Amino acid sequence: MRTALITGGSRGIGAAAVRAFARAGFRAAFFYRADEAAAQTVARETGAAPIRCDVSDPDRVCKACAEAEKTLGHIDALVNNAGIAQQKLLTDITDEDWRRMLDVNLSGAFYVTRAVLPGMISLKSGSIVNVSSVWGQVGASCEVHYSAAKAG
């Protein structure tokens, strides 16, 4: 059976991706950071396995990806969807704002991809989709750090 792992799968685009994979006959797992109730709702609707994971934490990502691989058997498809947004003037963005945005929106995709790629290489098969934003192509006022992370 085909399998998929979706990050940020408890709401929005991520939840829609979990539902689409389930409808297409995939066994799925998804990462969520905090909203247990939303994660359980998506899990009940789709049969997908919810796994709590802050993608900005590389150690937690390794553990969560291992849990997903154990649950699914292997990972055929990865959707890097987890992300955050924040609107602030460039002059008001703190160092912590900048780091958090890049850690979640850019480093998170790297950490998850790095963790699942050996399994895909071993199987000589796999697909990875990175969800971005139009603001990563053209930039957005009051979202400099978001635009930079999505461009990455």
Burial-class residue 59 by CB neighbours within 10 Å (0-12, 13-18, 19+).
Answer: exposed
Burial-class residue 11 by CB neighbours within 10 Å (0-12, 13-18, 19+).
Answer: middle
The Cα–Cα gap between 113 and 81 comes to 12
Residue with tokens 């900048």: 98
* Tokens matching residue 83: 């992300």
The Cα–Cα gap between 82 and 107 comes to 11
Is residue 32 part of the annotated active site? The answer reads no
* Bridge partners, 46 (sequence order): none
Active-site position among 146, 147, 149, 150: 146
Round the CA-based radius of gyration of the chain to a whole number and report it: 15
Residues annotated as catalytic (active site), given as ranges: 146
